[in-house]
Amino acid sequence: MFKRIVTGLKFNFYEIDNDLDVFVAFEVMNNRGKPLSTLELMKNRLIYLTTLLENDEDDKNRLRRDINEAWKTVYEYLGKNKDNPLDDDEFLKNHWIMYFTFERGEAEAFKNFLLKTHFTAKNILDDNAKKIDFSNIENYIDSISHSIKMWFYIFNPHYSNFRDETKEWLNKLNRVGLGAFTPLVMAALVKGIDEQKLVELLKLCEKAVFLVFRISRRPVNLKNNYFFRLAHEFYYDEVSIWDVIKNLNEFIDGDGYYSGWYDLDRFNLEDEFRKKEGEGFYSWNGLKYFLYEYELDLQKKARGQVKISWETIKHSNDTIEHIYPQKAQDRSWKEKFPGKESKQKYILHSLGNLVLLSQAKNSELQNKPFNEKKKHKDEKGNEVGYFNGSYSEIEVSQYQDWTPRQVLERGTRLLEFMEQRWGIKISNKKKVLCWK
């Protein structure tokens, strides 16, 4: 390292003429090669704008120090959890949605607004333009400095001093995805609303994501603009937390005059089964989150230790297993699951036939008879199988046999959990399960 530093580094030294602007030169030079992030450009731009203000030098120097301190805080919190570094432009974009009036536009609307429309020299120097003054810049960096901490806690609840229930629901939102509700949650944290109200908000956001975007399978950008504007209005006290909660309830269920966006009839995976390579519930984008919630419910009832962490399963499909295996070569499977391949496909990828594993199993073991799946000895002579796996596996190991009847029975039980967990009613469970 010493050798590299003293012999391998090269520095370019640029002398800038007095009639050239050093801040503009910085932006031009750094737009070549690997581009700077918008956050990096924004720091340079804000410092540049302070040189154009008419305030005295002491005030301008203090504002520049504040900008540097704010950005120091931003980078500290973006990288605070080395196992989960946060994207700087993603933070800046969501802060822009909350802080400024959101207008739908091009893909990089936030970047163009900040650097080309709002924080410009013209808005300071041109008397006819929209003015930016000392307080505008000061308020913006104060908001940035406070918001980055709350942004960090959204994605790293365990670092916060929130109550356990608040942390729990923030974790659930991270698993299922916050979507368009991210600026809204950030606004609630920045405003420091009462945690009881905060938990109610987090619960509704989670319910909305699961019921509207996972069960009803609505487009991911549904009413994004509406909730972005709501976050902005909430941040500036134009609407109350109760107005936000009311809007979320209406988004899910409607208000009596119109239907909400939750629609159980859209939870129809028939087409996924009919496709030549269709995998039914196995390809459902809400499957992993749903099975994990079911696992947590079993764990809570057992009052036991955690057997599966979300971190170990979120990027792996090997932790969801077909109990009746995809390659059912053993004679016992063929006897218990007779019939055409098309019918077997419905059973194979049915919700009740899918179980969350505590750890990925060897593919050879996945195809063993049911009794051996429940318990068998590995190469070292240790007894392994469903009986000592996740709580979901242990529950499956209680079955004496595994046939289409048990697949339907367990699928029905899972839907009953869904009813209880998200407060919905499923009258025709066989239809939802696409049971043939």
- Structure confidence by residue, pLDDT tens digits, 40-72: 899 999 999 999 998 999 999 999 999 999 999
Of the candidates 197, 42, 222, 204, which has an alpha carbon nearest to the alpha carbon of residue 118? 42
- Examine the fold and report which residue of 219, 236, 264 is the final residue of a domain before the chain moves on: 264
pLDDT tens-digit map of 224-253: 999 999 999 999 999 999 999 999 999 999
Q: Are residues 196 and 245 in the same domain?
A: yes
Q: Are residues 173 and 152 in the same domain?
A: no
428 in a structural domain: yes
391 in a structural domain: yes
11 in a structural domain: no
385 in a structural domain: yes
Q: Are residues 285 and 229 in the same domain?
A: no
pLDDT band, residue 98 (cuts 50/70/90):
very high
- Examine the fold and report which residue of 223, 249, 264 is the final residue of a domain before the chain moves on: 264
Inter-residue contact 393 to 386 (CB < 8 Å): yes
6 in a structural domain: no
Q: Which two tokens stand for residue 216?
A: 């009803």
What lies within 8 Å, CB to CB, of 27 at 6+ separation is: 41, 44, 45
More confident residue, 356 or 9: 356
Q: At what angle do helices 134-155 and 57-78 cross, to 10 degrees?
A: 10
- Examine the fold and report which residue of 224, 243, 264 is the final residue of a domain before the chain moves on: 264
pLDDT at residue 257 tops 80: no
Q: Are residues 302 and 228 in the same domain?
A: no
Q: Are residues 142 and 231 in the same domain?
A: no
Query: What's the total number of domains in the chain?
Result: 3
Q: How far apart are CA 310 and CA 390, in angstroms?
A: 13
Q: Are residues 276 and 414 in the same domain?
A: yes
Annotate 251-310 with DSSP letters as a single string: HHHB-SSSB-S--GGG---HHHHHSTT--GGGG-TTHHHHHHHHHHHHHHHHT------H
pLDDT tens-digit map of 185-224: 999 999 999 999 999 999 999 999 999 999 999 999 999 9
Query: What pLDDT does 222 receive?
Result: 93
pLDDT band, residue 14 (cuts 50/70/90):
confident
Query: What pLDDT does 297 receive?
Result: 97
Query: pLDDT exceeding 70 applies to what percent of the chain?
Result: 93
314 in a structural domain: yes
pLDDT at residue 266 tops 70: yes
Lowest mean pLDDT among 112-121, 157-166, 409-418: 112-121
pLDDT band, residue 24 (cuts 50/70/90):
low
pLDDT band, residue 33 (cuts 50/70/90):
low
3 in a structural domain: no
Q: How far apart are CA 196 and CA 397, in angstroms?
A: 39
What lies within 8 Å, CB to CB, of 230 at 6+ separation is: 184, 239, 244, 247
Q: How far apart are CA 139 and CA 224, in angstroms?
A: 26
Q: Are residues 43 and 191 in the same domain?
A: no
Q: Are residues 63 and 121 in the same domain?
A: yes
- 54 secondary structure, DSSP code: -
Which residue type is seen at 251?
Answer: F
Report the mean per-residue pLDDT for the chain. Answer: 90
- 231 secondary structure, DSSP code: H
Q: Is 197 exposed, middle or buried (0-12, 13-18, 19+ CB in 10 A)?
A: middle
pLDDT at residue 99 tops 90: yes
Q: Are residues 98 and 217 in the same domain?
A: no
185 in a structural domain: yes
Q: Are residues 286 and 407 in the same domain?
A: yes
Q: How far apart are CA 77 and CA 57, in angstroms?
A: 30
Q: Are residues 423 and 277 in the same domain?
A: yes
Q: Which domain holds residue 293?
A: 270-432
Q: Are residues 171 and 224 in the same domain?
A: yes
- 362 secondary structure, DSSP code: P
